A = this chain, B = another copy of it.
Amino acid sequence: MEPYRSILQKRGYRMTPQRIAVLRVMAEFGRHMTPIEVFQQAQQELPGMTEPTVYRTLNFLSEQGLLLAAHVGSGQFVYEIALRDHHHLICRECGEALEIGHELLAQLYENLKNQTGFQINSMHVTFFGLCPGCQEKKPSAQISDNSSTAGQQSG
């Protein structure tokens, strides 16, 4: 926990029991968690803790790079402890999820840098589509109906 403390202090922020509780929970579980889940767990670590503080803490720690945030599926926000840069592929049909390393996006980010000047640093992107299994079941609605007026599904 002390490394986290020094990171924050160097930037003029403070380490608090509430932030420790959240970091502890995130480190212990090591997976995507909703704010509500974090709140429930953090309350066990630190009984007095309130909901607004959890939301603010999750947001703050994400900004500081200690946590990763992501939208998965139905627009719910989830968080996880930041250890390795990675991204996610999720099947719109069955929900199957796959984790991929950042290497696969490195070239894209470099191209974007060259063509737009933007230095992209999104290290936890979620892509949606169809998993191999669900592609078979669906007769690839690629060109058939959408083409005229509409584009494609959301991201």
A68 contacts across to B, CB distance below 8 A: 151-152, 154-155
Closest-CB distance, A81 to chain B (whole angstroms): 9
A49 CB within 8 Å of chain B: no
CA distance in complex: A61, B108 (Å)? 30
Among B69, B89, B118, B128, point to the contact of A98 (Cβ < 8 A).
Answer: B118
Q: How far is the CB of A143 from the nearest CB of chain B, in Å?
A: 13
Give 1 or 0 for each of A123-137: 1 = CB within 8 Å of chain B CB. 111111111100100
Known contacts: A66-B149, A125-B155. The answer to whether A112 contacts B104 by CB under 8 A is yes
A118 to B134, CA, bound (A): 9
**In whole angstroms, how far apart are the Cα atoms of A105 and B65 in the complex?**
25
For this chain, the copies found in one complex come to 2
- Whether A131 touches B118, Cβ cut-off 8 Å, given contacts A112-B100, A155-B70, is yes
A25 CB, min distance to chain B CBs, angstroms: 16
A117 to B148, CA, bound (A): 27
Q: Output the residue of A65, A67, A77 with the most chain B CB within 10 A.
A: A65
Q: Which residues of B contact A116 (CB under 8 A)?
A: 89, 98, 100
| B104 adjacent to A132 (CB under 8 Å) | no
- Known A3-B148, A3-B149, A104-B112; contact A91-B118, beta-carbon cutoff 8 A: yes
Residues of B within 8 A of A120 (CB): 89, 127-129
Closest 3 CB pairs of A and B: A122-B155, A69-B154, A82-B151
